[in-house]
Structure 1
Amino acid sequence: MTPEAPQPDNERKPKKLRRLEILRFSPGNSFLHRLDPRTKLLALVIVSVIALLFSSLAALVLLFFFELLLAITSGLAKKFLRALTLVLPLFILVIVLDSFFSKASSGPVYFSAQIGFLHPEVTLAGMILAIAMGFRLLTLAGISFLFIMTTSHDDFIRSLKNMRVPPTLSFSLGYALRSTTSLTEDTRQIMDAQRSRGLELDRGNAIKNRNKLAALFIPVTVSLLKRSKNTADAMQARGFRQSTPHSCYKSQRFSRPDALMGIILVVLIMILLVTNWFFSL
């Protein structure tokens, strides 16, 4: 009887944990990777504001495919789509709720009922608006995922310092960006420890595992509190904010890709305005 070959680390990890590890910085030399973090932060803000202001399905679908094109050119298409599965349950919930309780009630009526004080109604206009709200959610999540996947912690901190952001705020934002990796690693270690004690976290759904999940969430919470205390002690020991501002050995500078991204954003806004105007006629 031959011994079983060891499985790769990615195959031994639980499916839920592998999905969380998608939200990590992926080194690369693509157009999106070479952008200054300030440019990517500006793109994140602009895309998010546009997604919140526009309610046209065509405009939001176009905005989502713009993000997908960025992911493809960065070599992150597969990882980007897998990351969107993290918000898939919320995406379905938004579409269902907005379909039955929509502000738009024009067009053919496919379903209508009176349940107590509730009046669910499914119309063509309501379904279109519900799908648009679903794409709004995907757009907001997608641009945030792309920022995390293509922005390193060190570059992000240097950019914030070049923007004269207060040290406390820049440290907090940078620490939050890096904590996604630390939280994933802590969760993996805790899940491995609980499985070694015979606790099967991978079987069944969230409702059946509600008691088991407490054995995961409580240690993770304790780990976060300990990590916060250790970080605070380390900052105090190093005299954080007690000395003159530190200088950066390597400064962030804007380059041609940043100018090109600015032009792309302006063109995107113009296209979306025309698209929204055309479909609103």
Structure 2
Amino acid sequence: MKMPDALFVPGNSWLHRLDPRVKLAFAVMATVALLSVENGWVFLSCLALCHAMLLAARVPLARLLGAWRMMLPITLMILLLWPFFTPVERAAAWRFGPLALSWESVQGGVAAALRVNALAFAFLVWLFSTDQPALVLGFRQLGLPYTWGVTLAITLRYIPTLYSTLERVLDAQRARGLVTAHTNPLRAARAYLPALVPVLIQALRTADTLSRALEARAFNAPNRQHTNRRQLHFRATDALALALIALAFGGVVGARVAGWV
């Protein structure tokens, strides 16, 4: 499974033109709202809204499917394990020795999986439509340290790079007889250990090279002023979008306080 070289999807849609601070506000407010409620329909609605926004912004369907493939392992793990570790308050529908299952615990597992995916896609709305310069500039104009934005941008850039390195190492070792397809999860995890050593070495080498490059450019030097050719301008459409986001956030929190969700 190939990971794209960067999360950002180039485009000129309404979502791409939206101020990155507004998109960050959407991700943060969605996170707070999703963590404050326990209603699966709210999670499903947020997930559907994120997909509608990304599709309206002409993000390729292949990128959305790729994101779902990346989320598939943790989604399956939640669906399979959550019901068994949830206390059964009513009569159990199934019993497997000391483990008990009920419809409520299964519904709780589905809701938890929907919540995790909704959280992920809320941030993907921001990351898929915001390039790295705008991301860093958005952090700066929010009054946050310049280093925070640069650190996040570098992290987002090098996660796909390290994943591609892992794929290349695995392909090379499979060509030399390494077997990674095991039905036993422990054996499958152990089979990946030989590939982690070269990936770790490459990660350390990349970090050293990057630190030297930043040091050569006097990154984070005292009394240094950072300037940007590109400037952000908060427009009327940004204000309208922020107002709608705040209204939806207030509605969800208000419904939670009232006990409706």
Q: CA deviation at 1:144?
A: 2.4
Aligned pair in 2 of structure 1 residues 271, 166: CA closer, same or farther (>3 Å)? closer
1: CA distance between counterparts of 2:112 and 2:46?
13
* Residue of structure 2 in register with 1:81 after alignment: 65
Q: CA deviation at 1:189?
A: 4.8
* Residue of structure 1 in register with 2:137 after alignment: 158
Do the aligned residues in 1 keep the contact of 2:71 with 2:117 (CA within 8 Å)? yes
TM-score (norm 1): 0.78
* Residue type of the alignment partner of 1:64: L
Do the aligned residues in 2 keep the contact of 1:80 with 1:146 (CA within 8 Å)? no
Q: Which runs of 5+ in 1 are unaligned?
A: 1-15
**SS of 1:172 mapped into structure 2:** helix
**SS of 2:133 mapped into structure 1:** helix
Q: CA deviation at 1:110?
A: 0.9
**SS of 1:32 mapped into structure 2:** helix
Do the aligned residues in 1 keep the contact of 2:88 with 2:100 (CA within 8 Å)? no
From 150, 158, 162, the equivalent of 1:183 is 162
Q: CA deviation at 1:167?
A: 3.0
Q: CA deviation at 1:265?
A: 1.4
* Residue of structure 2 in register with 1:231 after alignment: 210
RMSD: 2.9
Residue 58 of structure 1 pairs with residue 41 of structure 2: yes
Residue 269 of structure 1 pairs with residue 246 of structure 2: no
- Residues 96-118 of structure 1, C-alpha deviations (whole Å, 9 max, x = no match): 22222224624x63113552xxx
- Residues 76-126 of structure 1, C-alpha deviations (whole Å, 9 max, x = no match): 2622233122122221221222222224624x63113552xxxx3222222
Residue 126 of structure 1 pairs with residue 113 of structure 2: no
Larger radius of gyration: 1
Aligned pair in 2 of structure 1 residues 134, 189: CA closer, same or farther (>3 Å)? closer
* Residue of structure 2 in register with 1:204 after alignment: 181
Do the aligned residues in 2 keep the contact of 1:23 with 1:83 (CA within 8 Å)? no
How many residues are matched?
256
* Residue of structure 2 in register with 1:218 after alignment: 197
* Residue of structure 1 in register with 2:236 after alignment: 256
- Residues 41-93 of structure 1, C-alpha deviations (whole Å, 9 max, x = no match): 11111111111111111211112111121122122262223312212222122
* Residue of structure 2 in register with 1:110 after alignment: 93
2: CA distance between counterparts of 1:210 and 1:128?
29
* Residue of structure 1 in register with 2:85 after alignment: 101
**SS of 1:109 mapped into structure 2:** coil
Do the aligned residues in 1 keep the contact of 2:23 with 2:125 (CA within 8 Å)? no
TM-score (norm 2): 0.83
Aligned pair in 2 of structure 1 residues 135, 210: CA closer, same or farther (>3 Å)? closer
